Amino acid sequence: MRVSEKIDLWLIIHMLISGAICFGIIFILDGFGAPWRLTEWLVKIYGSLGVFIFEEARNGYYLIRLGLIYLPAGFLGGLYLGYKVKERLKVNMVFPSVIGFTLFLLYLAAVGYQIAGMEHILKGILIPLFTSISGSYLGGYTFNWHVEEKPREERISLIFEK
């Protein structure tokens, strides 16, 4: 009983650390505006940042944000948890992103950012969270990817002498 309690406590601690890693990565990448700097650099080649008046272009930037903020954040959180925890990955790997993203939402609420309306809930919460969770699974399984290799086939030929 004691042993399992001890393990559970450490599991929770590792989950919290992985969530903190996920939050930290989102905070840093979003705070320094890394996706925007890259996008701005790419679009400046054409010399026209006016294109962001169109929603299609803004959606394009949104995809870049998903790929450069939420996916890596979830991945690194999952990578830590996958390194520390080897059991029940299917369940455990949800937590780095859920904890990290919840912390990020709390931070946004603290600085006065409002998320209201269905579009904001979908694009501001659900899609980034799902992307981040996907990243966590990929990170967790990177350390725990075991596939049973098939034994090498050997061809044996019998030659009978006459």
Partner 1 sequence: MRSKLFRIRLPLAVFLILILAFLAAGYLMIHVTLMGSLTEDGNYLHIDMKTIEFKLPKSWRTPYPYLLPFWENESVCAIYLLNAEGDAMIYIIYHKTRESVQEFMGEQNIKDEFSVAIFEIERFYTWFLQKNQSATLQFAENGTIKVSERQASYSKIQIKNISMSMGENVTYNITGIFISSLTERNLLEIIFYTWRDQAWNATYNDFQILVNSLVVKYESE
Q: Which lies closer to partner 1 via its Cβ, residue 145 or residue 160?
A: 145
Task: Give the nearest distance from C-beta 38 to partner 1 in angstroms.
Answer: 8
DSSP string of 52-112, one letter each residue: GGSHHHHHHHHHHHIIIIIHHHHHHHHHHHHHH--S-HHHHTTHHHHHHHHHHHHHHHHTT
Q: How many CB atoms lie within 10 A of CB 62?
A: 15
Q: Which lies closer to partner 1 via its Cβ, residue 11 or residue 64?
A: 64
Task: Give the nearest distance from C-beta 97 to partner 1 in angstroms.
Answer: 14
Using CB under 8 A, list all residues that contact partner 1.
33, 36, 39, 42-43, 46-64, 66-68, 71-72, 75, 134-135, 137-142, 145-147, 149
Q: Is 38 helix (H, G, I), strand (E, B) or coil?
A: helix
Q: Which lies closer to partner 1 via its Cβ, residue 8 or residue 40?
A: 40
